Amino acid sequence: MLKVGFIRCQQTEDLCPGTMDLIIAREGKGVFEECGPVEVVGFVSCGGCPGKRVIARAKMLVERGADAIAFASCIAKGTPIGFPCPHWNQMREAVIKKLDSRVRLFDWSH
């Protein structure tokens, strides 16, 4: 079973507890339809704008067993507030550069 660490937008924590992310992970839906149910090893925020803590948090998730990092839909899609993160591309590229090909990346969740 694939082990996934989630990174979410800190700004949406007051609006969304991440319930749907955990459901789709458990049921293997959304972005996980190809690989089936996944085990969640951690669920953290980006650290707040402009996402300067995302690299350290991604590394922490990998150190705790994540084979993949899933950026929650609140970052790339702006779910539930309809406002995608303006720092999304920079965060994604920074994580790719730091973690190389050691882990799989998912750009959204549901």
Domains of the chain, each with CATH number or no CATH: 3-106 (3.40.50)
The C-alpha angle with vertex 51 and arms to 77 and 86, in degrees rounded to 5, equals 40
Mean pLDDT, the chain, as a whole number? 94
pLDDT confidence of residue 69: 97
Give the contacts of 29 (CB within 8 A, at least 6 positions apart).
23, 110
Exposed, middle or buried by CB within 10 Å (0-12, 13-18, 19+), for 105? middle
Task: Encode pLDDT of 47-82 as tens digits.
Answer: 999 998 999 999 999 999 999 999 999 999 988 888
